[in-house]
Amino acid sequence: MDEISYEDLVSLIETKNIQLFDVRTPEEIAKYGKIAHSVNVPVHEIRDALQMSAEAFQDKYSVAKPTMDSQHLIFHCQSGKRSRMALDAALQLGYSNARHYRQGFLGWLQRQENTNNEMK
C-alpha cells in the first residue's frame, strides 16, 4: 500500500498530521501553484536530502527531517511519475511507511475543482 487516496490526503492536510513533499521543480511550483503545507524537495535531491543529518535537512528545507518510522511521509509531483521515483528512493533508504499521491498536482486540482463545483 504505497499510494494515498485523495480523501486520505485531504484528511491529513486538514489535521496537519503530514509531511508532504512536492518533488517538482521550483519553476513548476511558481507556475502552477502547490498543495497547502507541502515542502519543495525536487526529485533529484530526495535521496541526498533523506540522508542528511536532521540539522542539515532543517537548515536547507525549513522543516523537520522525516524519521524512518514517519507514518505520514507523502510525496507528490505533477502527475505521479516523479513522486513514484521519490517514493522508491525513500523505501530503499528504509522509510518503510512512505507513500505517494499518484494522481499528482493535476489530479489534486481536478478534484478540488470538482469539489468546488459541487458546493456551488
Q: Taking the mean position of all CA atoms in its chain, how far away is CA 112? A: 17
77 noted as active-site residue = yes
**Of the residues 18, 77, 87, 98, which is catalytic?**
77
Q: In sequence order, what DSSP letters do the residues of the chain get, joined into one string?
A: --B--HHHHHHHHHHT--EEEE-S-HHHHHHH---TTEEE--GGGHHHHHTS-HHHHHHHHSSPPPPTT-S-EEEE-SSSHHHHHHHHHHHHTT-TT-EE-TTHHHHHHHHHHHHHHHH-
- Provide the grid cell at 84: 513514484
Q: Which residues are catalytic?
A: 77
